[in-house]
């Protein structure tokens, strides 16, 4: 989650700049990010949903900031193995 927060913190000023230029719709913001050559978090093109997620992340962080000195939460089971988020028996 810390990487996503850092990515959002880097992209938010660009989104705010785009909004200040008069572009308001989420779809138009996504088009503007793509036109500027800014890749999404996974390296692809932007969609309105991804723009919404970035803006919502900002609001969530403002209302619930991390505690100073708090360590990031890694989802690890006992023994250091990563915890799977896939349902049991799922191939994905």
For position 84, what pLDDT does the model report? 55
Calpha distance 23→37 (Å, rounded) = 17
pLDDT tens across the length of the chain (92 residues):
788 889 999 999 999 999 999 999 999 999 999 999 999 999 999 999 999 999 999 888 778 766 666 555 555 555 666 655 555 555 55
Calpha distance 91→10 (Å, rounded) = 34
For position 88, what pLDDT does the model report? 59
Calpha distance 19→13 (Å, rounded) = 10
């Amino acid at each position: 989650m810390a990487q996503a927060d850092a990515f959002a913190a880097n992209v938010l000023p660009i989104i705010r700049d785009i909004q200040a230029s008069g572009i308001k719709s989420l779809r138009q913001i996504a088009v503007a990010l793509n036109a500027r050559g800014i890749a999404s978090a996974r390296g692809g093109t932007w969609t309105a949903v991804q723009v919404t997620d970035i803006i919502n992340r900002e609001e969530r962080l403002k209302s619930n900031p991390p505690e100073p000195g708090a360590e990031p939460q890694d989802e690890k089971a006992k023994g250091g193995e990563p915890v799977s988020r896939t349902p049991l028996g799922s191939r994905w």
